[in-house]
Amino acid sequence: MKAPGSVNRHLQVAWHLIPGSGYVCRPISSGLRLRTGSEVLATKGREPGVEPWAERRVCMRGTLQILKALADPTRLRLLSLVHREELSVQELQEITRLGQSRISTHLGQLSAVNLVRARREGRRSFYRAVPQTDAETATLIKSALTGAEELPQAGDDRVNLERILQRRRDQAQTSFHHVAGRFGRVYGPGRSWQALGQFLLRIVPPLVVADLGSGEGLISELLARRCRKVIAVDNSRRMVAYGQARARRMGLKNLEFRLGDLQDPPLAEASVDVVLLSQALHHAEDPPRALLNGWRILKPGGQLWILDLLAHGFEPARELYGDRWLGFTEGQLQRWLEEAGFQQVEVSVVAREEVPPHFQTVLAGGVKPGPSRSRQRSIRRRAIGDDMNA
């Protein structure tokens, strides 16, 4: 059995590595010439004097390079490890007890034939096996990895790899163990209310929303990106004009501004899915009337939500912000919502400012059920002020 120089050596290695794989399992007769991939491609039919098994490999050169890379037991160990897990050179050092430069050289040779790939993370490089799309190369590597299990260091490598992976898991958990119980209050990179708000907005269904006391439409604008329609109501001409112009500029065709009073918004009965009163109810002369009319414009099953200030004693708010009410107690909001006919009423304090006067935000809401006609009539009468005139 003889073939030119190193080719012969590598073919013999392959024979050892992949018994039965069908690659190079036959003796090479003296004087046989291996053809390059392009020569094989250029040939139609079989030439006399060239063995059929030699023609099988269109890219013999590439195959030989892979075989050469796999022929070294150290490279095979490394490939076997990075095949199981992405690992840094330092981790490979710890597992194999080999020197750094030796590992790097072997990894370089494996990358040169596209068996491993490096990924940089800061100053470290992590290596992993490249998934092979070519079925024959994949079979070849699979056989080589099976062979790697027979290497004397295979058992130690497996144990050391598991130790490294356990250490990684422990490190990740340690930082979380440390903050468990106060995770919500400590700084978390990338965590912000803006980010959370953007996410929540993405899952808003295609609703029709009335934003009462909308101002220039900060919230309306965000909602309009997902909602079917948003009607922003404000009694300030300038706010409405500004909001309208801005919505037009931004191409938000489903955002409409209307001049009107939040206590009796210019919207048809049972026409919206959600009514929002964000920092607006404390400007109303008659908040219960605003809730009754909110109920009126909601479709059955619709929800009304209030974001407002919790009752506070900061008198300058009247002068500074034009507030009529110095916030509301949770009890007040609960009672008014229930009196307006809402069910599943929820009231809770959701935020507290760090700086004096430590304003707190209360979130209150309820659902409009499908009430009986007589109840609907009585609530409608109260909403339009008939009861007072009667």
Ligand X SMILES: C[S@@+](CC[C@H](N)C(=O)[O-])C[C@H]1O[C@@H](n2cnc3c(N)ncnc32)[C@H](O)[C@@H]1O
Measured from the CB atom, the residue of 51 and 261 that comes closer to ligand X is 261
- Pair of tokens at residue 120: 């940089």
Measured from the CB atom, the residue of 47 and 286 that comes closer to ligand X is 286
Does 261 engage in binding with ligand X (CB under 6 A)? yes
Does 362 engage in binding with ligand X (CB under 6 A)? no
Q: Which residue, among 26, 22, 112, 28, has the nearest Cα to 70 in the 3D structure?
A: 112
Does 280 engage in binding with ligand X (CB under 6 A)? yes
Residue type, 120: R
Does 325 engage in binding with ligand X (CB under 6 A)? no
CB 70 within 8 A of CB 76: yes
Ranges within 192-231 binding ligand X (CB under 6 A): 213-215, 218-219
Q: How far is the CB of 259 from ligand X (least distance, A)?
A: 9
- Pair of tokens at residue 200: 């929540």
Considering only the stretches 22-30, 256-264, 349-357, 366-374, report the one whose residues sit in contact with ligand X under the rule CB under 6 A. 256-264
State which of residues 75, 77, 83, 283 lies at the interface with ligand X (CB under 6 A): 283
CB-closest chain residue to ligand X:
215
State which of residues 284, 298, 306, 309 lies at the interface with ligand X (CB under 6 A): 284
- Pair of tokens at residue 362: 């209360």
Q: How far is the CB of 337 from ligand X (least distance, A)?
A: 18
Considering only the stretches 48-56, 120-128, 189-197, 232-240, report the one whose residues sit in contact with ligand X under the rule CB under 6 A. 232-240
CB 153 within 8 A of CB 96: yes
State which of residues 18, 66, 230, 239 lies at the interface with ligand X (CB under 6 A): 239
Beta bridge partners of 305: 276, 365
Measured from the CB atom, the residue of 157 and 234 that comes closer to ligand X is 234
DSSP structure string for 42-92: H--SPPTTS-HHHHT-TTHHHHHHHHHHHTSHHHHHHHHHHHHS-EEHHHH
Q: How far is the CB of 90 from ligand X (least distance, A)?
A: 52
Measured from the CB atom, the residue of 157 and 264 that comes closer to ligand X is 264
State which of residues 21, 109, 111, 236 lies at the interface with ligand X (CB under 6 A): 236
DSSP structure string for 264-290: S-S--TT-EEEEEEES-GGG-S-HHHH
List the end-to-end C-alpha distance of the chain, in Å, as a whole number: 115
The number of beta carbons lying within 10 Å of the beta carbon of residue 200 is 11
Using CB under 6 A, list all residues that contact ligand X. 213-215, 218-219, 234-236, 239, 261-263, 278-280, 283-284
